[in-house]
A and B are shown apart, each in its own frame.
Chain A
Amino acid sequence: MYFENIRKGVESMAFLSYLINGMGLGSVYAIIALGYTMVYGIAKMLNFAHGDVIMIGAYTAFYCLTVFKFSTFTSILIAVLLCTVLGILIERFAYKPLRKASSLSVLITAIGVSYFLQNLAQILFGTNPKVFPELMRNSTFSLFDGQLTLSYKTLLTIIVCILIMILLTIFVNKTKTGKAMRACSQDKEAAQLMGINVDNTISITFALGSGLAAIAAVLLCMTYSTFTPTLGSMPGIKAFTAAVFGGIGSIPGAFVGGLLLGIIETLTKAYLSTQLSDAIVFMVLIIVLLIRPTGLLGKKVHEKV
């Protein structure tokens, strides 16, 4: 009986540690998903280049840290600024001329931008994997008499994600720019009639999403430690899935979707199968969409005749 209790205790501790690690991974997905969901909410487009903005952020932070020997904070700040500028430039030169074009043309352009950034990175930085410098000493701490071991990295990722979510919610709901963003996402023409500069608002959205991508890049590199020019593609698809999972266009939806996706992925890897985890994650997505066709927190739009 006593041993049975201990076994159960160890099992539940293992489950708890998987859960928290899953939340760490999910937090990264959530931050990336925010970029997808905000852009979708306003510009009604799938920004396929978002994953590659993450990659550019990772390389910027890497070179700032290793070559220029900046401090961690300055490096992250530079990466965020550069990605913000990149996001605005991409929007200005590739997407803005297509504002009235069909959504498929915009999609193809986004794919073109994604290819462009990936190949540019391959030429500039080479295809060999780079090792991201250790930002935090890989210290762990134990809880419950050493039964539960967690790393500070995971905790930091979760805290950063929650902080971003709170700040972003305040920004969107309380500030004038946030109000403009919400107005644009509902009805662009009406917003323009109310004196909102729609072009600027869309640029701000892209800037915000891309800035967040840089933060996600640093968090991603802290977890995986090596990276290549294709760093952004798989987390990009996963985060995009997370955004759809939670209901695309909804900011809390991205948070919930990202966290759930991360947890499901980690738990299936731990308990079912490592190789099939991707298949299971996507299967869950399909089941969720069948029950709730607009995602977990998405709004249902009724069609008018």
Chain B
Amino acid sequence: MKKTIRKIFDKKHISRTISYLVVIAGFVIIQLLMNTIGIKSLFRSLLVPTCCYIVVALALNLVVGVSGELSLGHSGFMAVGAFTGIIISGLLEPYLAINWLRLLIAMFVGGIMAGIVGLFISVPVLKLQGDYLAIVTLAFCQIIKSLLNNVYLGVDINGLHFSFVENRISLAQGGRMLLSGPMGAIAITRLATFTAGFLLILFTLLIIYNLTYSRFGRSIMAARDNRIAAESVGIHIRNTKMLAFVISAILAGMAGALFGLNYSTLQPAKFDFNLSILILVYVVLGGLGNMTGTIISTMILYALPELLRGLQDYRMLIYSIILILIMLVTNNQTLKEKTENLITKIKSRFLKKGSVAHD
């Protein structure tokens, strides 16, 4: 018991503890607010998407921050997860009445499907490097979107009916369409709950932290920092990167399933290139490899355009200006030095009384 507690508050693991605490605190505060004062329905409708974006941003951070490969295809994995989840939950609906179990199965299968697609993609993708890798993941995301735009899937008593390119499905009585091309999925039973989102974030953190603090995590960071040196000490770079990529895809797929089951209609067009970019912005602003930062930046940046809603047409303009300014300020050399000086000054003042003197 003592060992576990020490492990939790260990200096090495302090960032992990902080991440968990931030998520749990956020959940508790929002639950309390919901049960006491009550929150606006607009805000309430943002809760589940925020959880999904946090999970996808964390998953992307595993690829971009920890593994060091730029991926612009995570909206594609989300789309795979979302539509798989919707199909599974739609198919199970007559047989399984327990909502949370159906959601769990949908998320699980959605994650697995996204993982399979991720595995399939990672074979060619990880042969490439840098910007070429970015464009190939972007291309995959576009391919997935345009394929989903052309899938027609219906179900009736005779089983599943599938058609590609054109809508040629005739269903028996009582049958219904699960996917209808560009219109996407219609009349989805909304299963997603905020608690499910919260648990998914915890699950994601658990997986990512256990991975990064393991032998695998150290070898992948070694591969990121110096490919050749890592290779020379016997790390199989492609396999490690592939594992990170696939796990990231699975998590993104699970988040996608939750995201899809949060709406009553969902079009494939929602998962376009801009969504990938949006998630990448969350990751970069939160700090590469920094999970707590990712969670906080996702919450702030996702809420920001909604908070600016009062400004109507100008909100996205202001959002873009804030984005540029943040990048300019955080990369300003003189400003960085000044803040560093300030921090050391504060530190030395506080540490004067202590045993450790700052030079």
Contact = CB atoms under 8 A, between A and B. Distances in A.
B91 to A, nearest CB: 26
Contacts of A279: 142-143, 146-147
A192 interface: no
A301 to B, nearest CB: 10
B273 A105 contact: no
B320 A109 contact: no
A109 B321 CA distance: 10
B233 to A, nearest CB: 14
B225 interface: no
Interface in A151-167: none
A241 interface: yes
A104 B63 CA distance: 13
Given A237-B138, A275-B146, A293-B132, A305 B324 contact: no
A10 interface: no
Interface string B151-175: 0000000000000010000000000
B129 to A, nearest CB: 8
Given A98-B331, A115-B316, A46 B323 contact: no
B131 interface: yes
A278 B165 CA distance: 13
A104 B165 contact: no
Contact of A294 (B132, B136, B138): B132
B350 interface: no
Contacts of B140: 282, 286
Contact of A244 (B127, B132, B319, B327): B132
Contacts of B327: 98, 101, 105, 108-109, 112
Contact of B320 (A46, A116, A276, A285): A116
A273 interface: yes
B202 interface: no
Given A279-B146, A286-B140, A112 B324 contact: yes
A295 B136 CA distance: 12
A98 B325 CA distance: 11
Nearest to B128: A293
A58 interface: no
Interface stretch (A119-127, A179-187, A219-227): A119-127
* Chain A interface main SS type: helix
Nearest to B135: A244
A276 B146 contact: yes
B333 to A, nearest CB: 7
B38 interface: no
Interface residues of B, number: 44
Nearest to B274: A233
Contact of A123 (B143, B285, B313): B313
A108 B228 contact: no
Contacts of B134: 46
B243 interface: no
B70 interface: yes
Q: Which of B131, B136, B327 has the most CB of A within 10 A?
A: B327
B330 interface: yes
Contacts of B324: 94, 109, 112-113, 116
A101 B284 CA distance: 13
Given A105-B331, A109-B327, A278 B320 contact: no
B228 A303 contact: yes
A40 B281 CA distance: 21
Nearest to A278: B146
A101 B140 CA distance: 28
Given A108-B284, A293-B132, A276 B323 contact: no
A255 interface: no
A275 B139 contact: no
Contacts of B331: 97-98, 100-101, 105
Interface string A34-49: 0000001000001000
A108 B149 contact: no
Contacts of B319: 115
A237 B280 CA distance: 17
Interface of A: 40, 46, 94, 97-98, 100-101, 104-105, 107-109, 111-113, 115-116, 119-120, 122-123, 237, 240-241, 244, 248, 273, 275-276, 278-279, 282-283, 285-286, 289-290, 293-295, 303, 305
29 contacts: A46-B134, A97-B328, A100-B333, A101-B331, A104-B70, A105-B331, A108-B284, A108-B323, A108-B327, A109-B328, A111-B281, A115-B319, A116-B317, A116-B320, A116-B324, A119-B316, A120-B317, A248-B132, A275-B146, A279-B146, A282-B139, A285-B135, A286-B124, A286-B136, A286-B140, A289-B132, A293-B127, A294-B132, A303-B228
